[in-house]
């Protein structure tokens, strides 16, 4: 378990490019595997989570190869022609892979077992099991609806209209993917809009998707027994990964950095809006559309941040970026309040309690509530934890590790992160990029 101490740094300068978007990378591999013929994927995130998806799709019959140039080629087999896996599908740390594949296999006529690492095996799957059971799939899960879990798909499955009880792109996607191989029309009602990569990309692969309103809420419908056609997918940079460098540049004096090719999908860009609300200088250069996704280069300069009340309605569009936002709030002038973040308690770790403890160790003033944190900032002064006290436990959570690495850049004595290995699940080049940007 490689521990590392992150120290006060010089300004972040130059131009960097973060890896491909994790959410889009997962979906590109899955949907290409369901299209009959060869698709190509450029910019795929080659982190452990996405590689777990690639491994699972190979076990289900797809041909997936990485070319020497970094282009991935996927030979798909069709939405109704997946093969029963001969052994358990090991999802590693990836909740997205697990929940989306549960949906995909819920309408296939065979059984599959899902396993994962210690962190994933503690995460609840009942929110996906419930609607997929309504469609006819059967589940044998561990206590509390966790992995290991065995699913027996229904063939044919039953189309449903499902209203999401919580804002979750993963649950929405699981139901829509189950609907791909289900006769009739399967629909999801979203009271609060969540990231829409699934709808955009399924439509791009030729699925019949309809998006409308029902009683003022978003209604997404998919026509089943779909025939997907191969595509050439270009994956934009991951805004969740860019968030760590955005915050780092905002809080380290003298910083002026450009982050190229960042996905700016409105259902994902909440972190940029929140940091601008706090006074952050974040300019969008060369905005453009790539494969149906909004993309821009971001110029970020050191800024005097001011505490703010973050609108809970922003949460679905930045749910994975809150640990980074908490770090920015710790260095702001005044108080930042967040609420509506119960979802953070069932991520790779309980991100509210883990970040509250980690930032307190680093010298921040943090109050933890059931659904958020209140953070009293330093006004731009460095965090003042001592080297002896500021040893952060990441709880196998990649975003905790990267957030506290950024906090270390603006601390008087540095921040020691107990284990940087989990960072490889989503951002394998993080350490090298950070070292290069702060030279």
408 marked as part of a ligand binding site = no
Q: Please report how many Cα atoms fall inside a 13 Å half-sphere around the Cα of residue 190, on the Cβ side.
A: 24
Which residues touch 370 (CB under 8 Å, ≥6 apart)? 342
320 marked as part of a ligand binding site = yes
Taking phi over 0 as left and psi of -120 to 50 as alpha, with beta for the rest, 59 belongs to alpha
For 70-101, give the DSSP string. Answer: S-EEEEE--TT-PPPPSS-EE-TT-HHHHHHH
170 marked as part of a ligand binding site = yes
117 marked as part of a ligand binding site = no
Vertex 177, ends 173 and 179: CA angle to 5°? 120
Which residues touch 279 (CB under 8 Å, ≥6 apart)? 303, 304, 305, 306
Tokens of 277: 């609300």
Alpha-carbon span 12 to 437, nearest angstrom: 5
Alpha-carbon span 430 to 423, nearest angstrom: 7
Alpha-carbon span 7 to 385, nearest angstrom: 12
For 228-264, give the DSSP string. Answer: B---EEEPPBPHHHHHHHHHHHHHSTT-EEEEEEEE-
Positive or negative, the Cα torsion across 343, 349, 354, 355?
negative
Tokens of 398: 């990649």
What φ, ψ does residue 348 adopt, rounded to 5°? Answer: -55, -30
69 marked as part of a ligand binding site = no
23 marked as part of a ligand binding site = yes
Strands 391-392 and 415-417: parallel
Closest CA to 225 of 208, 211, 201: 208
- Residues serving a catalytic function are 320
- Name the one residue in this structure whose structure tokens are 């990649």: 398
Can you tell me whether residue 344 is helix, strand or coil?
helix
168 marked as part of a ligand binding site = yes
95 marked as part of a ligand binding site = yes
213 marked as part of a ligand binding site = no
Alpha-carbon span 395 to 405, nearest angstrom: 14
152 marked as part of a ligand binding site = no
The beta strand positions in 97-239, using DSSP E, are 111-115, 138-142, 146-152, 161-163, 185-190, 209-214, 217-223, 232-234
Q: Which residues are annotated as a binding site for 3-phosphoshikimate?
A: 22-23, 27, 168, 170, 320, 347
Q: Which residues are annotated as a binding site for phosphoenolpyruvate?
A: 22, 95, 123, 170, 351, 399
Q: Which residues are annotated as a binding site?
A: 22-23, 27, 95, 123, 168, 170, 320, 347, 351, 399
């Amino acid at each position: 378990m490689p521990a590392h101490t992150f120290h006060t740094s010089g300004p972040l300068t130059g131009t960097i490019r973060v890896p491909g978007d994790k959410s889009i990378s997962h979906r590109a591999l899955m949907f290409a595997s369901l299209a009959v013929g060869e698709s190509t994927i450029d910019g795929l995130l080659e982190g452990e989570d996405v590689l777990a998806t690639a491994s699972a799709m190979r076990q289900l019959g797809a041909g997936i190869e990485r070319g020497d140039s970094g282009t991935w080629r996927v030979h798909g087999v069709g939405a109704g022609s997946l093969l029963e896996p001969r052994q358990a599908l090991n999802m590693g740390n990836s909740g997205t892979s697990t929940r989306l594949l549960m949906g995909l296999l819920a309408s296939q006529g065979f059984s599959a077992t899902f396993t994962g690492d210690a962190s994933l095996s503690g995460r609840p799957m009942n929110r996906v099991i419930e609607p997929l059971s309504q469609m006819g799939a059967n589940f044998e899960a561990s206590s509390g609806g966790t992995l290991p879990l065995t699913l027996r798909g229904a063939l044919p499955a039953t189309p449903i209209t499902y209203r999401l009880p919580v804002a979750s792109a993963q649950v929405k996607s699981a139901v829509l993917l189950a609907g791909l191989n289900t006769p009739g029309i399967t629909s999801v009602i979203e009271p609060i809009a969540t990231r829409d990569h699934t709808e955009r990309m399924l439509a791009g692969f030729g699925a019949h998707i309809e998006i409308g309103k029902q009683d003022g809420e978003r209604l997404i419908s998919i026509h089943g027994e779909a025939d997907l056609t191969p595509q050439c997918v270009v994956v934009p940079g991951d805004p969740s990964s860019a968030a760590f460098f955005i915050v780092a540049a905002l809080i380290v004096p003298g910083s002026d950095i450009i982050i190229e090719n960042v996905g700016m999908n409105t259902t994902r860009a909440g972190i940029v809006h929140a940091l601008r609300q706090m006074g952050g200088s974040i300019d969008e250069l060369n905005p453009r559309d790539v494969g149906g996704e909004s993309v821009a280069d971001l110029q970020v300069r050191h800024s005097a941040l001011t505490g703010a009340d973050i609108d809970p309605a922003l949460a679905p569009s930045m749910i994975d970026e809150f640990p980074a936002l908490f770090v920015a709030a710790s260095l702001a002038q005044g108080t930042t309040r967040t609420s509506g973040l119960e979802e953070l308690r069932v991520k790779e770790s309980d991100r509210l309690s883990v970040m509250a403890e980690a930032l307190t160790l680093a010298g921040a003033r943090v109050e933890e509530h059931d659904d958020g944190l209140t953070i009293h900032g330093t006004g731009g002064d460095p965090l003042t934890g001592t080297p002896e006290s500021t040893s952060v436990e990441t709880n196998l959570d990649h975003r905790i590790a990267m957030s506290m690495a950024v906090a270390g850049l603006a601390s008087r004595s540095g921040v020691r992160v107990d284990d940087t290995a989990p960072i490889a699940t989503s951002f394998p080049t993080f350490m090298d990029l950070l070292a290069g940007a702060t030279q």
